[in-house]
Chains A and B, each alone.
Chain A
Amino acid sequence: MSLLTVSQLEAGYEPGLSIVKGASIHADKGEIVVILGPNGAGKSSLIKAIAGIVPVTGGSVVLDGEDITAVPAHLKIRKGLAFVPQTENVFPLMSVEENLAVAAGVFRGAAAPIEEMFALFPDLARQRRLAAGSLSGGQRQMLACARALIVRPGVLMLDEPSAGLSPKFVEQVFARLVEIRASGVTIVLVEQNARAALAIGDRAYVLVEGREAHEGPAKTLWDDPLIAELYLGHRKEGVQ
């Protein structure tokens, strides 16, 4: 059975104006699942709806056998579902250490020690007293991941972690995601950068107009000329 099963999910900010229109995806334990799709397809809204910050109007989200569709956002993370937003994903005026402390403090004893996160992200350890707002884009993304991981989630969802990063940092962030998966965390990744995401992904969905239009192993999706041209915005030989 899948760890995370999303069935026929409908969600949107305004009643009657769904952005997510009956999307169904699932993620098995230890998988990296990539969600791709053209702009406006509802990729971000889909994982925000799963995380509970876009109102859900229909369908269900089941995590580890438990229906968590109606669980409020701040309690979803207690169920083991962590979410890293695309932008504004750190508390800018608090130090790196405080960003991690406030996330861990919500869980009292159950969270990982801050030092464990610093071992995983050594760059952050060197900046621990610095205000999170003054970190570089890549480091900020690392801090956002660490903040989500400190509560030892079963599923880590990320909204375009590569957005705004230079290629070198994209590589670093994605390499770290592979390490995180190796530690047993299931990853659901929404990405524009299809090439980089499919390189580390196991399975991928292509989302079109609010529902999944294609599903398949990540490796073959990149090579499927029809999919590539229609949805991923590149031709077979194209450069990113």
Chain B
Amino acid sequence: MSLQFLLDGLISGAMIGLGAIGVTLTYSILRFSNFAHGDLMAWGAYAALVAVGVVGGLAGPIAPLSFGLPLILATLFAMGFTAGLALLLDWLLFARLRARGQAIIVVMASFGASMALRNLLEFLFSSSPAYYSRALQIAQPVGFGIRITPDQGALLVMTVALVTGMHLFLTRSQRGREMRAYSQNPALARVTGIDVSRVVRTTWIIGAALAAAAGVMVGTLVQIRPLMGLDLLLPMFAAAILGGIGSVPGAVLAGLIIGLSEAAAVMFIGAEWRAGVAFVILMAVLLVRPTGLFGVTER
């Protein structure tokens, strides 16, 4: 038996986990399930594709990776661009509906936004897949029959850095503490002097920037397609719920669990069962432990 599926699961789990951070923060702070989150991921991937087209001539790839400085710069641009897109969506749509106070309307609106964003991508870029680089990568053996490409290694390191940074931000910085305080008790946050609109802005910026980073990661390791975000939506929600709504470490750990379970299903049951895994996990968590791994009961 090849243990390669463990690495494959780890990689897709890292992408799911990065995306799930945004889902869990939006859910716990803005109090709605943002079904357009996957499409923010796709928009991030395409924003980086456009940016790579512009700055691609600056420098070549950094051996042994398939990419170099241009994609790194393009990723930073994509994170900023996607954050701006999320703030625009909030201003245009979500903030107005939130003010009316019914969460379900906001959720439905996010469905609509999801479709609009996705179709706009297909209109602009067509539905055929695109790539940052056509370069082939040679997977290096690392023992136990597992092989890893340099790109996979680099992106795993990036994920660890982003997640660690995110955790430190939420636990050590004033802004991060304000976000946690607001998610635990919005009314008390206001009388404590916390500026709610700033918390909302920060939440969108962080969620969208991490979604863009995850999008670039999928684009580098798999391919860039308008549907890439939609495909990851169910696993991301499953991870956010399995991890416990509001918990960043929980979302990442659950993302890894789901990625590994999917890879194991492909390995031991059959590739056609892959998409069902997240669904089964989601159902099981909701039935057995709705608060997830690190969640707390809602008051």
Nearest Cβ on chain B to A45's Cβ, whole angstroms: 14
Contact flag A93-B177 (CB < 8 Å), given A77-B191, A88-B188, A103-B192: no
The answer to whether B184 and A91 touch across the interface, beta carbons within 8 angstroms, is: yes
Within 8 A of B (CB), among A159-203: none
Q: Which of A77, A91, A106 contacts B185 (CB 8 A)?
A: A91
Q: Which of B178, B191, B296 contacts A102 (CB 8 A)?
A: B178
> A85 vs B192: C-alpha distance in the bound complex, in angstroms?
11
Q: Which of A53, A90, A94, A105 contacts B174 (CB 8 A)?
A: A105
> A48 vs B193: C-alpha distance in the bound complex, in angstroms?
14
> A88 vs B185: C-alpha distance in the bound complex, in angstroms?
8
Q: What string of 1s and 0s marks CB contacts (under 8 Å) between B172-206 and chain A?
A: 00100110110011011111111110000000000
B: contact size bracket: 10 to 19
Contact flag A94-B192 (CB < 8 Å), given A88-B299, A105-B177: no
Residue among A53, A105, A151 with most chain B CB within 10 A: A105
Nearest Cβ on chain B to A145's Cβ, whole angstroms: 13
Q: Name the prevailing secondary structure of the B interface residues.
A: helix
The answer to whether B185 and A74 touch across the interface, beta carbons within 8 angstroms, is: no
User: Which chain B residues border A94 with CB–CB below 8 Å?
Assistant: 177, 180-181, 184
User: Which chain A residues border B192 with CB–CB below 8 Å?
Assistant: 74, 77, 102-103, 106, 147
Q: What string of 1s and 0s marks CB contacts (under 8 Å) between B274-299 and chain A?
A: 00000000000000000000001001
The answer to whether A102 and B185 touch across the interface, beta carbons within 8 angstroms, is: no
A: contact size bracket: 20 to 34
Q: Which of A72, A91, A93 contacts B188 (CB 8 A)?
A: A91
The answer to whether B196 and A74 touch across the interface, beta carbons within 8 angstroms, is: yes
Within 8 A of B (CB), among A20-78: 51-53, 72-78
Within 8 A of A (CB), among B87-136: none
User: Which chain B residues border A78 with CB–CB below 8 Å?
Assistant: 193
The answer to whether B180 and A151 touch across the interface, beta carbons within 8 angstroms, is: no
A89 contacts chain B at the CB level, 8 A cutoff:
yes
A3 contacts chain B at the CB level, 8 A cutoff:
no
- Give the top 6 A-B pairs by smallest Cβ distance, nearest first: A105-B174, A106-B193, A77-B193, A102-B177, A73-B190, A91-B184
30 chain-A/chain-B pairs, Cβ below 8 angstroms? A52-B190, A53-B190, A72-B190, A73-B191, A74-B190, A74-B191, A74-B192, A76-B191, A77-B193, A83-B191, A85-B187, A85-B191, A88-B185, A90-B188, A91-B180, A91-B184, A91-B185, A91-B189, A92-B296, A93-B180, A94-B184, A98-B177, A102-B174, A102-B178, A103-B193, A106-B174, A106-B192, A106-B194, A147-B192, A151-B193
**Interface of A toward B, CB cutoff 8 Å:** 51-53, 72-78, 82-83, 85, 88-94, 98, 101-103, 105-107, 147, 151
Known interface pairs A74-B195, A90-B185; 20 further A-B residue pairs with C-beta atoms within 8 A, sorted by A's residue number: A72-B190, A73-B191, A74-B191, A74-B192, A77-B193, A78-B193, A83-B191, A85-B191, A91-B180, A91-B184, A93-B184, A93-B296, A94-B177, A102-B174, A102-B178, A102-B194, A105-B177, A106-B174, A106-B178, A106-B193
